[in-house]
Chain A
Amino acid sequence: MHDIANALVAAWQLVLSGDPTLLGIVSLSLGISLTAVFLASCIGLPLGAALAIAPFPGRNAAIVVVNALMGLPPVVVGLVVYLALSRSGPLGGLGLLFTPAAMVIAQVILVTPIVAAVARQIVEDLWREYAELYLFDGVSRVRTICSLLWLGRFSLTTAVLAGAGRAVAEVGAILIVGGNIAGVTRTMTTAIALETSRGDLALALGLGIILLALIFLINGTAHFAGQAVKRVAP
């Protein structure tokens, strides 16, 4: 209990102090994860919808693959991205290793399957309900996908939030490809890992409390924004 009390005090002091290092870490965390979630949604939502409505051979296998990739181990993704971006790797010329861009790439790989898998389920349910309408009207595939995504927009928030949760909380991949460089690639989660290894458990847990608060903030904003929009146009 004593440790947890210390952590709460540490978290509170950090927030009150408005420490510029902390602000930098928080904004970098959010910047990387939100960018990754945005890109992953651009890929994952249409991909999930396509999987839901398009009959093609091997569709079931593709669904299993996407579902399984939700469980991608972050360290493995980190390692693969590291090897690809390394100066000795195929993309070494870009010089992206140990930069925020490398961290975004790793997180896009981790988050896309989550967004796609959840979106597939949601759109499939809608499709079961409305397939006849679309088929009867002879709407093209692409337009059907856009229309179904729009129809399911409120439920699909969950897909995006699931992805955002994974991105903000993830440490294994970004630690490897970012290198946890102070002021450049140090995020909330990698800072927590560092403070834990320094034995400053109160500070580590204090950072953890701030991270949790941020996750609540993101989810709360999404939820109440959704409610507000629904009230305007149900």
Chain B
Amino acid sequence: MIPLLRAAAIGWLLLSAAAFPAVAEPPFITVASTTSTEESGLFGYLLPAFTKETGIDVRVVAVGTGQALKIGERGDCDVVFVHDRPAELAFLEHGFGIDRREVMYNDFVLIGPASDPAHVDRGTDIVAALRKIADAKAPFVARGDDSGTSKAELRFWKEAGLDPRTIGAGWYRDTGSGMGPTLNTAAAMDGYTLSDRGTWLNFKNRQNLKIVVQGDRRLFNQYGVMLVNPARYPSVKQDLGYKFINWLTSPAGQKTIADYKINGEQLFFPDAKPATG
């Protein structure tokens, strides 16, 4: 009986061990980035190209911009790749990151139900559209998670001279979640929400939702990349991190970004400036 139990324990251990791939690890960097780059499918297309060229694996932790910057602040990644310019500049200023480079932009779109209770469809003015939604007290689903999209949305409300957190009782829903879950909620509630175009294009559970407002210049959404400050965290893989940043902003990386399309539609527009040295 004892041997049987021992055999079971050994079998269990072997099974556990076999489940972990026992291959030698290639060099890798950890990148904290946003849900929009992951959920839009861009990374699934972009990163294999980088790995193929350099042999460096990129491990992406995809969270909101606020949380991604926090991961960088604590030294838990090598590179931060996010979209909230003011927060990125503050990150640099506090000495958490160095060498910010702009990589690409995409745009935000206002998503709403086909029934369009606030009558904002085919608009091109995001601020006017938000005012109409507030007037109609139409359901609006907000990220509320300190992400780049959330901060952009709150900036637009501010420009409209409205504070949804005080006037929004009953129609402004703060979900505190990522873009995908927020779109799921909007689809279920027939609500309006602000999304980045990439996540929207890659989103499958649309139900009655569609794009109602787009093309406003204020909806422009800039992505930046930074190295976590190696002087602060010696664990940061400086050389590998720079290889990634340099590749993203190189002609090869920029072309790969431009080539990523869903149904023939380009999602991200590269706009890196040539390296200043």
Asked if B75 and A181 make an inter-chain contact with CB atoms under 8 angstroms apart, the answer reads no
Asked if B75 and A196 make an inter-chain contact with CB atoms under 8 angstroms apart, the answer reads no
B83 to chain A, nearest CB (A): 18
Which chain B residues lie closer than 8 Å to A89 at the CB level? 74
> Which residue on B lies nearest to A34, using beta carbons?
B16
Which chain B residues lie closer than 8 Å to A38 at the CB level? 9, 12-13, 16
Which chain B residues lie closer than 8 Å to A92 at the CB level? 75, 235
> Which residue on A lies nearest to B43, using beta carbons?
A182
Asked if A196 and B19 make an inter-chain contact with CB atoms under 8 angstroms apart, the answer reads no
A124 to chain B, nearest CB (A): 22
Asked if A31 and B180 make an inter-chain contact with CB atoms under 8 angstroms apart, the answer reads no
**Cα of A38 to Cα of B17 in the assembled complex, Å:** 11
**Cα of A153 to Cα of B205 in the assembled complex, Å:** 48
> Which residue on A lies nearest to B31, using beta carbons?
A181
Which chain A residues lie closer than 8 Å to B61 at the CB level? 98, 179-181
**Cα of A200 to Cα of B204 in the assembled complex, Å:** 5
Bits for B150-190, please: 1 = Cβ < 8 Å to A, else 0: 00000000000000000000000000011111011001000
**Cα of A129 to Cα of B261 in the assembled complex, Å:** 71
Asked if B59 and A181 make an inter-chain contact with CB atoms under 8 angstroms apart, the answer reads yes
Cβ-based interface call for A198 (8 A): yes
Which chain B residues lie closer than 8 Å to A199 at the CB level? 180, 183-184, 187, 203-206
Asked if A97 and B60 make an inter-chain contact with CB atoms under 8 angstroms apart, the answer reads no
Would you list which residues of chain A between 25 and 66 have a CB under 8 Å from chain B?
A: 27-28, 30-32, 34-35, 38
A7 to chain B, nearest CB (A): 13
Asked if A86 and B74 make an inter-chain contact with CB atoms under 8 angstroms apart, the answer reads yes
Cβ-based interface call for A17 (8 A): no
B77 to chain A, nearest CB (A): 8
Would you list which residues of chain B between 64 and 111 have a CB under 8 Å from chain A?
A: 73-76
Cβ-based interface call for B221 (8 A): no
Asked if A153 and B19 make an inter-chain contact with CB atoms under 8 angstroms apart, the answer reads no
Number of A-B contacts (CB under 8 A): 93
Q: How many residues of B contact A (CB 8 A)?
A: 41
Which chain B residues lie closer than 8 Å to A34 at the CB level? 12, 15-16, 19
Which chain B residues lie closer than 8 Å to A200 at the CB level? 204-205
A31, A86, A180, A182: which contacts B75 (Cβ < 8 A)?
A86
Asked if A196 and B180 make an inter-chain contact with CB atoms under 8 angstroms apart, the answer reads yes
Would you list which residues of chain B between 179 and 213 have a CB under 8 Å from chain A?
A: 179-181, 183-184, 187, 202-206
Asked if A198 and B39 make an inter-chain contact with CB atoms under 8 angstroms apart, the answer reads yes
Cβ-based interface call for A133 (8 A): no
Cβ-based interface call for B275 (8 A): no
Asked if B20 and A197 make an inter-chain contact with CB atoms under 8 angstroms apart, the answer reads no
A24, A88, A181, A197: which contacts B180 (Cβ < 8 A)?
A197
> Which residue on B lies nearest to A101, using beta carbons?
B20
**Cα of A88 to Cα of B17 in the assembled complex, Å:** 30
> Which residue on B lies nearest to A178, using beta carbons?
B61
**Cα of A225 to Cα of B9 in the assembled complex, Å:** 13
Asked if A201 and B205 make an inter-chain contact with CB atoms under 8 angstroms apart, the answer reads yes
Asked if A197 and B35 make an inter-chain contact with CB atoms under 8 angstroms apart, the answer reads yes
Which chain A residues lie closer than 8 Å to B12 at the CB level? 34, 38
Of the listed residues A38, A92, A182, A229, the one surrounded by the most CB atoms of chain B closer than 10 A to its CB is A182
Bits for A95-114, please: 1 = Cβ < 8 Å to B, else 0: 10110100000000000000
4 A-B pairs closest in CB distance: A31-B19, A197-B180, A87-B75, A199-B205
What are some 12 contacts across the A-B interface (CB < 8 A)?
Answer: A28-B19, A32-B19, A35-B16, A86-B74, A86-B76, A88-B74, A98-B30, A179-B61, A181-B30, A182-B44, A194-B39, A201-B204
With A27-B21, A184-B59 given, name 14 new contacts (CB 8 A). Answer: A32-B19, A34-B12, A38-B9, A92-B75, A92-B235, A95-B235, A98-B61, A98-B76, A181-B60, A197-B184, A199-B184, A199-B204, A200-B205, A233-B1
